[in-house]
Amino acid sequence: MNIGFIGLGIMGKPMAKNLIKAGHKLTVFDIVQENVDALKAEGAAAAASPKEVAEQNNLIITMLPNSPHVKAVILGENGVIEGAAKGATIIDMSSIAPLASQEIAKACAKKGVKMLDAPVSGGEPKAIDGTLSIMVGGDEENFNEVKGVLAAMGASVVLCGAIGAGNTTKLANQVIVALNIAAVSEAFMLSTRAGVDPIKVFHAIKGGLAGSTVMNAKIPLIIEGNFKPGFKVDLHMKDLANALETGHEVGAPLPLTAQAMEMLQYLHSHGAGQDDHCAIAKYYEALAGREIRSI
């Protein structure tokens, strides 16, 4: 299938590469030429604008930082909507506010263009190996038409409801991940301060009720002091900001999310915004005056 792909950052680049590996022909666009060149080396064609991407493809995927970027790329000058033919499908795989997805989809519908919101979870490692969890919102018929394409990038592809439901599900995911990282950071600081080796604590509890995918992925990195970004603090801040905004709009109390947001804001203000979100551990290290490391 001929597919347009816009947004080749930490997540978008490996996702696009997996589509090529699955046999699809890609036309790509990104504001960073180095990212475009990396996909051209894999066999993709390059376009000069989102409009040009849409002119050449009836299926267009976007993977961008936040709501304003998606609106600009899809609805703005030289945007996707200007080049998309009636009946084309846009899959926005960015993590944005659900109401923004609904607003963009409504504008697209006026021109006969279909849209799904399909944010992902799993970070860079799962983007690379094609095992992302993909949460989709939109019309079921449209979903079924593109499910096979999404499956080339993810191990789990689930239709969660109407447009916006994918991003609502992603916000719930991001709340759980942030609070889980905070919880394990707090617990492992306790063990470290008490003189118990955190790596032994990890092996002792990972198979019990306290075990989690988040703990398995992040605690080894924290203990190593490895905060190379798989998913950045600043991006998680964006997601929690969208969660808090959505919670206010629908009347959902999110007091723990608000506290996690303050931790991320601290990290951002102290130069760790580009670190992996497991750098939440640095917040506890700053408070305790000690790193979480093997004893």
User: Out of 13, 114, 126, 170, which one is annotated catalytic?
Assistant: 170
Q: Are 119 and 112 in contact (CB under 8 A)?
A: no
* CB distance 100 to 74 below 8 Å: no
As a whole number of Å, the CA-based R_g of the chain is 20
Decide if 93 contacts 118 (C-beta within 8 A). Answer: yes
Beta bridge partners of 3: 26
Which of 26, 22, 25 is closest to 8 using CA atoms? 26
H helix intervals, the chain = 12-21, 33-40, 50-56, 67-75, 80-83, 98-109, 123-129, 140-151, 165-193, 198-205, 213-224, 233-250, 255-269, 280-288
The full DSSP string for 225-274 is T----SSBHHHHHHHHHHHHHHHHHHT---HHHHHHHHHHHHHHHTT-TT
**Paired tokens of 66:** 């936040």
Annotated catalytic residue 170: yes
Which residues are part of the catalytic machinery? 170
